[in-house]
Amino acid sequence: MKTIRHTVLTLWALVFTVPLLWAFMSSVKTDAEIFDSPWQPPSTPHFENWSRAWEQASIGRYLGNTVIVVGGSLMLTMLLGALVAYCLARYEFPGNRAIYYTLVAGMLFPVFLALVPLFFVVKQLGMLGTYQGLILVYTAYALPFTVFFLHGFFRALPGAVAEAAFIDGASHAGVFWRVMLPMARPGMVSVGIFNFLGLWNQYLLPKVLNPDPDDYVITQGLAALAQSRGYGSDWSGLFAGLVIAILPVLIAYVFFQRQIRAGLTAGAVR
């Protein structure tokens, strides 16, 4: 019984790992080797495929664009999300509930519904295909979940510490920055990981809002390369690009796998 179970589990593990290992192996083969025998390992590893993908196939540039856009929107999302969640969780004021539910409703709507008008709003702002445009849109769409998640966190924090800080003469902003935000750190980390992955993996929004190939983010660039491969047919370079795109997430996962799994599943159940 036990061996059967392990056999099944191992077979399933292979179903998940083999395609990834195969992509890695293909990324260091020559085009001829890829074409002749998909299963054979390369005679000698050709790591120059990677540098070719990085430079000639623009993977390096796409990665750079992605880092700027994701970095910018991640910082903005965390800052604004924490501020909003904190205000809504710990202050009584008219309209508090209304704002909260309006924000949270944003999680329920399919992005497809907003796609057409969003395109024109961004266009009218003159921010189509710009870093700022993507950063602001990513942030706006990541806010609902961030506020929803952190709201619970700020609510659960003890009020006595903030009370003491107020008596010591701290301002509202001071209490937020120096007392409450540091206490909410575990929640910030979970949401931060969640947002990083979500923003890094965006495809639909840049596909619509980021039309210039020079500005492509990595997911867009890779998809475009794969679709035009009939003309260039640089298979090994394309595999190399694929592996380069997978590596950052894989490395992050190896180091933070426990937090990542806990953070993502906690987000689903709440």
Rank residues 68 and 115 by Cβ distance to other proteins and give the closer one: 115
Give the 3-state secondary structure of 34-83. Answer: HHHCCCCCCCCCCCHHHHHHHHCCCHHHHHHHHHHHHHHHHHHHHHHHHH
Taking CB under 8 A as the binding criterion, the range among 46-54, 56-64, 102-110, 181-189 that sits at the site for other proteins is: 102-110
Using the minimum distance from each CB to other proteins, give the nearer residue, 16 or 231. 16
Amino acid of residue 148: F
Number of H helices and E strands in the chain, helices first, is: 15, 0
**How far is residue 167's CA from residue 157's CA, in Å, rounded to a whole number?**
18
Q: Which of residues 166-195 bind other proteins (CB under 8 A)?
A: 166-167, 171-173, 176
- Are 155 and 45 in contact by the 8 Å Cβ rule? The answer is no
- For residue 104, state whether it binds other proteins (rule: CB under 8 A): no
Tell which one of 62, 219, 234, 237 touches other proteins (CB under 8 A): 219
Buried b (16+ CB within 10 A) or exposed e, 66-105: beebbebbbebbbebbbebbbbbbbeeeeeeeeebeebee
Of the candidate residues 42, 60, 106, 129, the single one contacting other proteins (CB under 8 A): 106
- Count, residues near other proteins per rule CB under 8 A: 91
Q: Do 31 and 236 contact (CB within 8 A), yes or no? A: yes
User: Closest Cα to residue 256, out of 192, 199, 184, 185?
Assistant: 192
Q: Cβ closer to other proteins: 54 or 200?
A: 200
124-130 contacts at long range (C-beta below 8 A, 24 or more positions apart): 128/209, 128/210, 128/211, 129/209, 129/210, 129/211, 129/212, 129/215, 130/215
Q: Cβ of residue 51: shortest distance to other proteins, in angstroms?
A: 20
Asked if 65 touches other proteins (CB under 8 A), the answer is no
Q: Which range, of 57-65, 151-159, 181-189, 250-258, touches other proteins by CB under 8 A?
A: 250-258
Min dist. Cβ of residue 222 to other proteins (A) = 5
User: Minimum distance from CB of 7 to other proteins (Å)?
Assistant: 11
3-state SS assignment for residue 150: helix
Q: Is residue 78 near other proteins by the rule CB under 8 A? A: no
Q: Give the one residue of 78, 84, 150, 180 binding other proteins; rule: CB under 8 A.
A: 84
Q: Which residue in the set 164, 203, 213, 233 belongs to the binding site for other proteins (CB under 8 A)? A: 203
Name residues contacting other proteins, limited to 108-167 (CB under 8 A). Answer: 108-110, 112-122, 136-137, 139-141, 143-144, 166-167
Among the listed ranges 43-51, 55-63, 148-156, 236-244, the one in contact with other proteins (CB under 8 A) is: 236-244
Q: How far apart are CA 5 and CA 52, in angstroms?
A: 44
> Least separation, in Å, of the C-beta of 131 and other proteins?
15
